[in-house]
Structure 1
Amino acid sequence: MRSARLARLLAPMAMVLPLFAGSPTAVADEKAAEHAVIAHRGSSGVAPENTAAAVRTAIAQRADFVEIDVQRTKDGKLVNFHDCTMERTTDVEEKFPGRPSYRISDFTWQELRTLDAGSWFHPDYAGEPIMSVREVIKLVDRRAGLLAEISPCDHYRGLPADLAAEFTSVPGYLDRALASEELAVQSFEVDDARAFNERLSEVPIGVLDAERPSDAELVELSSWADQVNPQWTVTDQGLVDRIQELGMTANVWTVNEPGSMRELLELGVDGIITDFPQSLTQR
């Protein structure tokens, strides 16, 4: 039997139909209503990842959850950003030429707010700023669930504790999100996932895995984790069944191709993490 504190990433999902030509689509299935649609870095297939535009679009598309990436600035602000350095998705090299490092942790929040995190994706998004985690929470609160990934960038220490403190510092948010099963945390680093779980055990915690976990690893994780979230390419019926048999849920990542979405739905996964949530919600 599943743990009583297990808040599964489940929400009703619309029948799956094409949204527009050229976008990934999936085929409707009776199991679809049992699966969560999780917008990877927001609706990052149609808006610049991890920006307010991507988060708002995911909400408008009725994604059940918005997935974000948590890092920390030089002055201690938690921000939503994926890469360990900022060159790929911002104009940091133009704004701050010659800096020895372009890691989030080497910049203050005030410096980061001057960066353009949208133009790389499309000129229509010029000027989109980097978001703080607090800003993400305000956007999704009462509108969508939040799946927060603790950054695996190896220069950080103490991120799990900082994220736990951030959730508890927003008046009323943690209670609301837990009551509606709209909050979970995940990490590739087992130690970070466990450290967060020790701080806020009531928040569902997941472990990401790019490789197929062994049965021994799954059994050990089942003693404290709520989710095992594997890369979709290593996921098969046996893995999904075993994760669920051990009382955990499986949210697969990052699935953008319609045939793959169909196959994973048929396996009975608990959630699909995708750059194109509209393909699964019809919005």
Structure 2
Amino acid sequence: MSKKLLIGAGLALSLLFTPFNQAFAEKPTVGERKQVENVAHRGAAGYAPENTIAAYDLAVDMKADYIEIDVQRSKDGELVSIHDTTVDRTTDGTGKVGDLTLEQLKSLDAGSWKGEQFTGEQIPTFEEILDRYHGKVGILIELKAPEYYPGIEEQVAELIKERNLDKPQNKKIIIQSFNFESMKKMNQLLPQVQIGVLTSNRAHTTMDALKEFSTYADWFNPSYGIVTKELVNQVHANDMKIGSWTVRSQEAADFLFEMKVDAIISDYPDYVDPRN
């Protein structure tokens, strides 16, 4: 529409095209929002203690498509879900995850720091999570600092195979890490399971880097601070999907919808799913 026509149409029509109304009109529809995978970061971590059953259960209740979990290993070789390489921040204990036995880890209170109602929440094991949630919700598995735990890739692969989650019909398992060599290994161990690479480094967004990632990864998952429409298009051109993290505001979620990413990884699943 020309400028002359806009002026001639009168005040009422001109108001229709104010920046506010244009922005409102460009917001994604409910249908478009549902096409984006809603990934609950460490569970619904905005509302419940991260990486606990309480947070994962809430994420399921909030209709998340995936729960994102962090996997490390105890001193006695058991896989557990916790983000930090120490227990200090999210439990009432101290020490490195890898220096504590499963019994010691299970004895810690991983919930009361978030609220009295979560007192007694435990650090869950990887097997507990697989058995409780597979078939109910997708599981995005992050290998946290796998360089600290030699052989963790084989251990994760074995537990997934035991539950037949490595089969092509089960597309709701994704394994990701900041450690690219670890993901190359996971791709070899579980060639039919989706693999993701994590980064917040712009150096990893070049065409050459994306082409290399695409040789073993299905997902390129950057921090939202480096996401652009050009990057999304380049990721798609390399036959990968893009999921971005970590959303902690409605504005950040809306930005990623505008960028047309394939998944939004958020502490607040209700920022992503219009049904909440």
TM-score (norm 2): 0.86
Asked whether 1:211 is paired with 2:201, we answer: yes
Q: How does 1:1-283 map to 2 (within 5 A)?
A: 28-29=28-29, 30-93=31-94, 102-152=95-145, 154-170=147-163, 172-175=164-167, 178-212=168-202, 213=204, 214-281=206-273, 282-283=275-276
Q: Pick 1 or 2: higher relative contact order, CA cutoff 8 A, min separation 6.
A: 1
1:39/1:276 contact within 8 Å kept: yes
Distance in 1, Cα, partners of 2:130 & 2:82: 14
Deviations along 1:134-174, one digit per CA (max 9) or x if unpaired, are: 1111221221000000012642222211111111123x444
**Alignment root-mean-square deviation, CA:** 1.4
Amino acid at match of 1:181: K
Moved over 3 A (4+): 172-175
1:56/1:139 contact within 8 Å kept: no
Give the fraction of aligned pairs with identical amino acids, expressed as a percent. Answer: 34
1:255/1:261 contact within 8 Å kept: yes
Distance in 2, Cα, partners of 1:72 & 1:246: 33
Distance in 2, Cα, partners of 1:112 & 1:260: 34
CA displacement at 1:225 relative to structure 2: 1.1
Deviations along 1:157-212, one digit per CA (max 9) or x if unpaired, are: 22211111111123x4444xx41421110000100111111111110000001112
Distance in 2, Cα, partners of 1:139 & 1:258: 30
1:31/1:266 contact within 8 Å kept: no
> 1:96 is matched with which residue?
none
* 153 and 91 in structure 1: CA distance in 2 versus 1, 3 angstrom threshold: farther
Distance in 2, Cα, partners of 1:259 & 1:120: 27
SS in 2 for 1:37: strand
Greater Rg over alpha carbons, structure: 2
* 153 and 220 in structure 1: CA distance in 2 versus 1, 3 angstrom threshold: closer
More helix by share: 2
SS in 2 for 1:131: coil
1:255/1:274 contact within 8 Å kept: yes
TM-score (norm 1): 0.84
* Aligned residue-pair number: 246
Distance in 1, Cα, partners of 2:92 & 2:147: 23
Amino acid at match of 2:129: V
SS in 1 for 2:68: strand
1:48/1:117 contact within 8 Å kept: yes
